[in-house]
Amino acid sequence: MTEGTTEKCKHCSGPLACVKCGELHSPPSRYRNIARLQAYHCMIHEAFRQWPEDHEFCPENPEHLRKWLQVSAGFRIYRDWVLSGDKETDMLALQQMMVWGDALGFIRRGKKNDRVVFRVFRSKSIALRNASEAEMRDVFEKVSEVVESVIGYRPHKEMSAFKEDENQNVEGKI
């Protein structure tokens, strides 16, 4: 390998370290558009401020609303628990659901093959190490659509501070 080049990981082909200076470099996919991220959080706060009191979901704070919006927009993971009918086993399953769902998980009850099923949804993480810039763009758009369906418009369209400046990227620590 020539001097000043970057070695590649054998597993993911990502850069390891510069041969010349030894500094670690993050893969290019781990950059985040600052303007979009700020607009995303501003949109969530504005939606929280204008959230209808009579809506079926009543968020406790903007973070709770963000998690619900991301789950509603399809940016989620879930796990099913089938209750057996045995009281002790079912209580244990309910406890496990609450732990897995965390404080900001969402539970839906249903039936499958004549058995009670609980599906617990959690929002996927939008942390830099877990979501690429392309995923973040997709989340922003889908969450905007959910917000628009509830409050009647997209708050970020009204914000003059929102600019798609691709030069305002930040590299995150993974």
Higher pLDDT, 22 or 62: 62
Question: What mean pLDDT do residues 165-170 have?
Answer: 47
Q: Answer for the pair 63, 104: CB distance below 8 angstroms, yes or no.
A: yes
Question: What mean pLDDT do residues 124-151 have?
Answer: 88
Measuring CA to CA, how many Å separate 47 from each of 7, 26, 98, 162?
45, 34, 27, 16
Q: Answer for the pair 45, 79: CB distance below 8 angstroms, yes or no.
A: no
Predicted confidence at residue 17, as pLDDT, reads: 60
Please tell me the pTM assigned to this model: 0.67
pLDDT tens track for 140-163: 999 999 999 999 887 766 554 444
**Residue 9 confidence class, pLDDT cut points 50, 70, 90:** low
Residue boundaries of the structural domains of the chain: 1-30
- Residue 98 in this model has a pLDDT that exceeds 50: yes
- Residue 125 in this model has a pLDDT that exceeds 80: yes
**Residue 114 confidence class, pLDDT cut points 50, 70, 90:** confident
pLDDT tens track for 69-96: 999 999 998 888 888 888 888 888 888 8
- Residue 167 in this model has a pLDDT that exceeds 70: no
pLDDT tens track for 14-59: 555 665 666 655 544 456 778 888 888 999 999 999 999 999 999 9
SS3 105: coil
Q: Are strands 31-33 and 15-18 parallel, antiparallel or unpaired?
A: unpaired
